[in-house]
Amino acid sequence: MDFQLILDEIHAELRPRLDQAGTGAQVARYIPALARVSPRQFGIALRTCDGTTAQAGDSAVPFSIQSISKVFSLTLAIRALDEALWTRIGREPSGSPFNSLVQLETERGIPRNPFINAGAIAVADRLVSLGDANAELLALLSRLCGEPIGIDAEVAQSEADTGFRNAALANFMKGFGTLDNEVTTVLDVYFRQCAIAMTCEQMACAAGYLCRDGAHPLAGTPVLSAAQTRRVNALMLTCGTYDAAGEFAFRIGLPCKSGVGGGIVAVVPDHLSLCVWSPALDATGNSYLGRQALELFVAKTGLSVF
C-alpha cells in the first residue's frame, strides 16, 4: 500500500476544510496557552511495523499532547504494578466528558478508567509513589521516538493556573483514599505530563509498541508484554475518546487516544501506528479534522480492527 500517497490525498482533501467556520469546532479555550494556538493547522504521520514512514501537512510541528500522555503514563504504571493497578482504577467507558465529577461520588472515588482525567490523576499518584514520574515519562517517550522530548513550561503553568476541575477531582479522590500522595504534588505531575510537546512524526513512532505486541518500535525490546499491550489497546478503543468512544469505534474502529491539544493517536495492530493533529475540537473535546482524517484513512485503506 502506498501510504505516502494516501496521506497526501487525505491532506489535500482536508486542507480546504481548515477554515472551519460554521462547524462549531474551536481550540480548547479553558487552558489559555492552548486558546492561542492557530486552528488552521493539520498534520498526519504514520509508521508501519517494518519501519516505513509517511507524513503530510504540519507533521513536524510540535503540539501539546495533553491526554495522549495518559497512554504512556498508563504504560509505566502497568509495567510497574501490573494487576495491582486495577484496585484503584476501573476499566469501563465513562460515557461522560473527560473532566466529569459525577461518577466519582457514587463510585466511591474509583475513577471509571485511566483515560478520563480522574483516572489519569489516579495513575499519576501511583507513579509519584514509585519515583520521579515526569522524568520517567519523558525518558520513556524519548527512548520510544529516538529524540529528546520535553515539556512546554508555558502550557504547564497555564494548566496549573486554571486547573480548577482537576483540583476538584483530585481532592475528591483524596477524600475517598484513592490518592496516597499530596494533591498538589500529584496535580503538578499531571499538569506537566499533559504539557509535553511532540510532533505527529514523533508520536507515530512512539506509539509503535502498541501495534507490535509491546515491542519497542526502534529497538525491538519489550516495552509491555503482548497481553498488557492488548489491554492498553482495548482501553483506547473503549475509553480513549471519552463520550465519543462509541462513535469512534463505529466510524473508525481503531484503538485511539485523543487530547485537547487536537492530537489523536491511533493503532492498527500488527500494521502501523499513526498520529493526526489539528487543534480545533468538536463538542466532545476530540479534534474535529483529526476524526475526519481517521475516517478517511480507514475508508481508503480498509485497515480497522473489525
Ligand X SMILES: NC(=O)CC[C@H](N)C(=O)O
Q: Which of 69, 209, 242, 267 is flagged as catalytic?
A: 242
Is 171 annotated as ligand-binding?
Answer: no
- Cβ-based nearer residue to ligand X, 164 or 250: 164
* 67 catalytic residue (yes or no): yes
What are the residues binding ligand X (CB under 6 A)?
Answer: 66-67, 98-99, 117, 159, 166, 194, 259-260, 285
**Dist. CA 68–CA 259, nearest whole Å:** 5
Annotation marks residue 260 as catalytic: yes
Angle at the Cα of 186 (from 184 to 190), degrees rounded to 5? 115
- Please confirm, yes or no, whether 190 is among the known catalytic residues: yes
- Residue 160 C-alpha cell reads as 496549573
Shortest spacing between CB 205 and ligand X, in angstroms? 21
Least spacing, CB of residue 221 vs ligand X, in Å: 29
CB 83 within 8 A of CB 221: no
Grid coordinates representing 120 are 489519569
Residue 74 has phi, psi (to 5 degrees) of: -60, -40
For the bound state, the minimum distance from the C-beta of residue 98 to ligand X, rounded and expressed in Å, comes to: 4
Query: Which three cell numbers mark 225?
Result: 508484554
Q: Which CB sits closer to ligand X, 90 or 217?
A: 90
Cell of 73: 503514563
300 belongs to the catalytic site: no
- Can you tell me whether residue 113 is helix, strand or coil? coil
CA pair distance 15, 106, nearest whole angstrom: 45
Is 201 assigned a ligand-binding role in the annotation?
Answer: no
Identify which of residues 255 and 285 has a Cβ nearer to ligand X in the complex.
285
Cβ-based neighbours of 231, under 8 Å, separated by 6 or more: 78
**Active-site annotation holds for 30:** no
Active-site position among 69, 73, 186, 190: 190
The three cell numbers locating residue 161? 493556573
Closest approach of ligand X to the CB of residue 258, in Å: 7
* Burial class for 22, CB neighbours closer than 10 Å (0-12, 13-18, 19+): exposed
> Is 209 one of the annotated binding-site residues?
no
83 is in an annotated binding site: no
Contact of 60 with 201, CB cutoff 8 Å? yes
> Catalytic one among 69, 70, 155, 265?
70
- Cβ count near 18 (within 10 Å): 15
- For ligand X, which is the closer residue by CB, 7 or 237? 237
Distances from the Cα of 266 to the Cα of 84, 103, 122, 134, 280, angstroms? 27, 27, 24, 23, 18
Is residue 190 a known part of a binding site? Answer: yes
Cβ-based nearer residue to ligand X, 109 or 262: 262
147 labelled binding-site residue:
no
Catalytic residue, candidates 27, 37, 59, 67: 67
CB of 117 to ligand X, least distance (A): 5
Tell me which residue has its CB nearest to ligand X.
67
Going by the annotation, the residues of the binding site are: 67, 117, 159, 166, 190, 242, 260
Going by the annotation, the residues of the binding site for substrate are: 67, 117, 159, 166, 190, 242, 260
Which residues are identified as catalytic? 67, 70, 190, 242, 260
